[in-house]
Amino acid sequence: MIQIKDLQYKINGKIILEDIFLELAEGEFAAIIGPNGAGKSTLVKLILGLLELKEGSIFIDGVEHYSWLKNNTIGYLPQYEEFDNAFPATALDIVLMGLAGQLPLGTHFNKNHKQKAMEALEQTGVAHLAKELIGKLSGGEFQRVLLARALVSESKYLILDEPEASLDRPSVESFFALLKELNSKGKTIITISHDLTTLSKYCSFLVCLNRRLHCHNQMELIDADVIHKTFGDSLRIIEKDY
Amino acid sequence: MFSFSFLVYAFLGALLSGISLAVFAPFVTLRRISYLGEALSHIAFAGIALAILAGLNLTVTTLIFVMLIALGITLLAKKHNIQESNTITIFLSLSMALGIILISLSKNYSFDLASYLFGNVLLITRNEIIALAVLSVLNIAFVCFFYKELFYLTYNPVMAKVYRIKTDLVNLIFMLLLAANIVINVKSAGIILVTAQLILPAVIAFNLVHRLSKAIVISVLVAVFSAFIGFYFSFLLNLPTGACIVVFEAILYFLSLLFSV
C-alpha cells in the first residue's frame, strides 16, 4: 500500500502540490489525471525518491518511503528517457538495468539474469529486438523495452508517466491490455495519462490532480463535473473514439 | 633507438600516459564531459602555483588540490542539483584566477607556460613512470570491477538511481581517479595531449564498434599504437612527442570515419 499524508511541495516558493492525502491499496490499477503543470510527474518523482520530500510523508507498505526504497525498487517507466541516441547499449542491456541494483557492487550479470531479461522482453512482445541498439528502436518499441526493464525488477509496484505518449492508437490499446494483465496477476500500477477513453476501460482507481487532489473514486465515476473540477475549461470529454 | 635510458623512460611515459587515459576515454566521451579533462588540467595550474609559492612538492600538492576540486565538483552538483558542466566552469574560473594570483605573488619564479601546455615527455622521471604504471593498473581494475555500474551511470544516472544502482560511490572514485590521471599526466604530456587522449581514442573506437567493452579495448589499442608511431616520428624528425601523438591520432580519427559502422 502507498500512503501519502499531508504532502506539500514547492519549487522556488511556488506551490506545486498541496494538501495531498492519498491511499493506494495493493492490486489497484490507478490513474492520475490532470492538466499540464498539475504536479502529476512531481508527485510520481516524490514517490520514487527522485525529488526530496520536504513537507508531509509517504509510506510504502507501512515503511517511510526513503527507507523502503533502500531495499526495494519501484518499476518506473518515465515519460521520456533521456539518453544519447548513439549510446552503445542494446535492448537487453537496458532491461538488465532493472536487475543491476539487486546485484552486489562489482559483480557481473550471469546467464540467469540474461534469461530473466529475455523473459521480460518476451512478455512485452519485443524479445526479437534484444540485440538491437536502442538508438535504432522506434518510440513504441523502446517503450516496451522500458516496460520490460520495469517488469524484470519484479517490483510489486509499477509507475508509468504517460506511457501512451510515444505510441500510436492500436499500440496504446495493446499496451494497456498488457498492463491490465499484469495488474490481474497482482501488480499495483499507477499511471499518469491524458487518455481518458483508455483509462475508463482499464483502470480501477482515479486520482484527479490539479495541485490538490480533487477526487479518488472508481473509474465509472468519471463525469463532466469531476473533469471540470480538475481541468477547468481546458478539457472536454470527447465521447467518440479517435 | 632505445640506447639512452631517458629515451626508454620517455617512450614508457608516452605509452603509459596513453593507456591510463584511454581506459577512461569512452566514459568521458559518452558522458560528454570531455571538457572536464581540460578543466581539471587547468585547475592543476592553481595547484602548481600553490606548490611553487609554498615551496611544497609539486606533484603531491597538485594531486591533492585537483582531487579536492574534483570532489567539490561532484558533491556540489549532487547536493545542489546543479549541472556538472556549471560546477566545473565555476571551479575552473576560480582555480585559474587563483593560479594567476599565486604566480604573480611568486615574483622570483618565471612560469614556463609552454611546458605546461605541451609537456615534455623527455623529462619524465622514474618515479613518474612508476606512478603512471600504477595508475594504469588501477584504472583497468576499476573499469573491469565496476563495469556494470559505470555503464548505467554513463547511460542515465537518474534511472540508475531509480533501479538502486550504487552509482554515487563509483562516480566519486571515477572523478578522483580521473583527477589523479590528469595531474600525473599533465607534467609529461601537457594539457593538449591529456585532453586529446581523453577524446580521440574513444571517438575512433566508437566509429569502429558499437559495444562499450570493445570500445574500451580499441581505445587502449589506439593509444598504444599512437604512442609507438608518434614517438617514432618525434625521434626521427626531432619533433615534440606529445604533438606527434596528437597529430597521428587525429589522422586515425579521420581514417576511422571511412570505416564508420
What is the structure's pLDDT at A205? 82
A-chain residue closest to B158, CA distance? A50
What is the structure's pLDDT at B50? 84
What is the structure's pLDDT at A242? 33
| The overall pTM is greater than 0.95 | no
Q: What is the pLDDT of residues B155-185, one digit of tens each?
A: 999 999 999 998 889 999 998 999 898 888 8
Q: What is the pLDDT of residues A61-114, one digit of tens each?
A: 989 999 999 888 899 999 888 888 889 999 999 999 999 998 998 899 999 999
What is the structure's pLDDT at A59? 93
CA distance A239 to chain B (A): 37
Q: Check residue A120 and give left, alpha or beta (phi > 0: left; psi -120 to 50: alpha).
A: alpha
Q: Are B202 and B217 in contact (CB under 8 A)?
A: no
The ranges of chain B with pLDDT < 50 are none
Q: Decide if pLDDT at A180 tops 70.
A: yes
CA distance A101 to chain B (A): 4
Beta pairing partners, A158: A75, A189
- Extended beta strands in A25-62, E state: 29-33, 55-60
DSSP A133: B
Best interface-test mutation with B: which of A77, A102, A105, A113 has the largest number of B CBs within 10 A?
A: A105
Please judge whether A108 and B148 are an interchain contact, meaning their C-beta atoms are less than 8 angstroms apart: yes
What torsion do the CA atoms of A93, A99, A102, A103 make, to the nearest 10 degrees? Answer: -40
Which has the minimum average pLDDT: A104-113, A121-130, A195-204?
A195-204
Q: What is the pLDDT of residues A135-152, one digit of tens each?
A: 999 888 898 899 999 999
Please judge whether B155 and A97 are an interchain contact, meaning their C-beta atoms are less than 8 angstroms apart: yes
Global ipTM: 0.83
Helix (H) or strand (E) holding A157: strand A157-161
Q: With contacts defined as CB-CB under 8 Å, which chain A residues touch B148? A: 100, 103, 106-109
What is the structure's pLDDT at B137? 95
Q: Which of B169 and A239 is assigned the larger pLDDT?
A: B169
What is the structure's pLDDT at A228? 59
Residues 120-149 of B with CB under 8 A from A: 145-149
Return the amino acid letter for A103.
Answer: L
What is the structure's pLDDT at A221? 47
pLDDT band, residue A240 (cuts 50/70/90): very low
Q: With contacts defined as CB-CB under 8 Å, which chain A residues touch B152? A: 97, 100
Please judge whether B161 and A73 are an interchain contact, meaning their C-beta atoms are less than 8 angstroms apart: no
Nearest CB neighbour to A76, from listed B162, B211, B212: B162
What is the structure's pLDDT at A230? 60
Q: Decide if pLDDT at A236 tops 60.
A: no
What is the structure's pLDDT at A211? 83
What is the structure's pLDDT at A48? 93
Supply B126's cell numbers.
622514474
The residue among A219, A171, A184, A172 whose CA lies nearest residue A33 is: A219
Q: Decide if pLDDT at A160 tops 80.
A: yes
Q: Are B2 and B8 in contact (CB under 8 A)?
A: yes
pLDDT band, residue A224 (cuts 50/70/90): low
Residues 137-196 of A with CB under 8 A from B: 149, 153
Residues 26-85 of A with CB under 8 A from B: 48-50, 69-70, 73-74, 76, 78, 81-84
By DSSP bridging, strand A29-33 and strand A188-192 are parallel
Nearest CB neighbour to B210, from listed A106, A109, A133: A133
What is the structure's pLDDT at B105? 80
Please judge whether A50 and B146 are an interchain contact, meaning their C-beta atoms are less than 8 angstroms apart: no
